[in-house]
Amino acid sequence: MKKTCYRRVGCVPAIGLGTWGIGGGYWSADTSRDPQWIEAIKYAVERGLRLIDTAEMYGAGHAEELVGAALRGYPRDEVFIVTKVWPSHARHDDVIKAAQASAARLGTHIDLYLLHWPSDAAPICETVRAFEELVDRGVIRHFGVSNFTLAQLRQAEACAKKYELAAVENHYSLYNRRDDADLIPYAKASGIMYIAYTPLEKGAVARDPLLAEVGRRYGATPVQTALAWYVKHGVVPIPKAERREHIDEIAGAYAVELSDDDYAKIAAEIRRG
């Protein structure tokens, strides 16, 4: 299992597992496939996808319950759990309550706690103050933001007084590289972890002819080639997967080491945003 290292969080699994759609949808729980979902998360962890990304909104907290059930009994220091607080819960007391509820559903502390979207419910400094209190209480280890611009990230960063803002999670893929213009260079220079959600663009990456061409040189699929590109780029992709064959394909990206030339070729020739 490869790891990507950041000054503010240390070394984390280079590829993670997203859980949007597992356990339900937008504030709506679905328990009909719980055994299959738990087994899928367990299998992903066994295959080396040991960063698990979830949120209180996913399935109205049920996704967190499934992650907790899947990880029960697994060595805690071998997994990195990310979850998020919804922007309507961004006021100080609400953040504290939401984090405690998420930790209870997970059955453990939270490695990285993110504000899911910028919030109109509270000033960002009030949210960050609650995050720092949660670190002191041992409920979370690190905190950050999600779906933030660079300007918004820097505003949140300036609010932190006791601990550094550790991470940002945004939509990023080879087809959506807007953050390469400013946010990713800033994060890299500052030691901030960058998590890329929707890195496979709902299957579009799997059909990319250039990724297929490059991948053939490595015995890799387009998906594995793209994931290897993200790892070399220094971001942590978190594709969602439920089926064993999909999990196996994602985990197989760990074995792909792109040459500098192929990395540059992909970067130069795939430009879709």
Q: Whole-angstrom Cα distance, residue 245 to residue 109?
A: 30
Choose, from 58, 113, 194, 197, the residue flagged as catalytic: 58
Q: Whole-angstrom Cα distance, residue 36 to residue 247?
A: 13
Paired strand residues for 12:
4
Measured N-to-C along each axis, helices 209-216 and 222-233 cross at an angle, to the nearest 10 degrees, of 90
Full DSSP string of 202-263? GGTGGG-HHHHHHHHTTT--HHHHHHHHHHHHT-EE--B--SHHHHHHHHGGGG----HHHH
Answer yes or no: 58 catalytic. yes
Q: Whole-angstrom Cα distance, residue 133 to residue 97?
A: 12
Q: Whole-angstrom Cα distance, residue 149 to residue 152?
A: 5
* Contact present, 160 and 132 (Cβ < 8 Å): yes
Strand bridging mode 28-29 / 24-25: antiparallel
* Contact present, 240 and 20 (Cβ < 8 Å): yes
Token pair 């992909």: residue: 266
CB-based contacts of 213, cutoff 8 Å, min separation 6? none
Question: Which residues participate in catalysis according to the annotation?
Answer: 58
